Amino acid sequence: MDSISNMIIVMKNGSLAGKESVLLPYSKMKNAIAMCLKKEGYITEVAKKVKKGQPLLEIGLVYVDKKPRITEVERISKQSRRVYFGMKDIHTVRNSTGLLVLSTPKGILSGKEARKEQVGGEALFKIW
């Protein structure tokens, strides 16, 4: 299964269920995505933990007025079909209430940061 899809779905389901945090298997890619989401205010904390010898990523979820910050996610680039955006193709998501996450040559960036850095890349997912 696609590990990034699994990550964003676990975060969405955890926030809709009212969980304080979720645990995921650790990888550098997931950690970079979590740091990007933390910078944009979609999650509160990112911590690497070890349980029974397995590294795990603990992600704290954000709630605004008891409503979850993450209500929906949409995977764009999949293992079977990669989707790349140039700098001019990057637009706002849901009238700037959402976030586009890209994998660029400068690392994992949000759509706003990618336009500021003037780079394009593989569009991973949208979140709102």
Domain range for 96 is 3-127
**Residue found by looking up tokens 């706003």 in the block:** 112
Domain count, the chain: 1
How far apart, in Å, do the first and last CA atoms of the chain sit?
A: 23
pTM of the model: 0.94
Sequence-separated (6 or more) residues with CB below 8 Å from residue 65: none
Sequence-separated (6 or more) residues with CB below 8 Å from residue 109: 36, 101, 102, 117, 119, 121
| CATH label of the domain that carries residue 105 | 3.30.1490.10
**One-letter amino acid of 99:** L
- Span 86-114, average pLDDT: 95
Nearest to 58 by CA among 118, 123, 113, 10: 10
When pLDDT is cut at 50, 70 and 90, the band that residue 87 belongs to is: very high
When pLDDT is cut at 50, 70 and 90, the band that residue 91 belongs to is: very high
What is the per-residue pLDDT for 1?
78
- Give the DSSP letter of residue 62: P
- Is it the case that residue 58 has pLDDT exceeding 90? yes
When pLDDT is cut at 50, 70 and 90, the band that residue 31 belongs to is: very high
Q: Which long-range contacts (CB under 8 A, 24 or more apart) does 35-40 make?
A: 35/108, 36/101, 36/108, 36/109, 36/110, 37/99, 37/101, 37/127, 39/110, 40/99, 40/110
What is the per-residue pLDDT for 121?
97
How much of the chain, in percent, has pLDDT values that exceed 70? 100
Q: Mean pLDDT over all residues of the chain?
A: 96
What is the per-residue pLDDT for 13?
97
When pLDDT is cut at 50, 70 and 90, the band that residue 25 belongs to is: very high
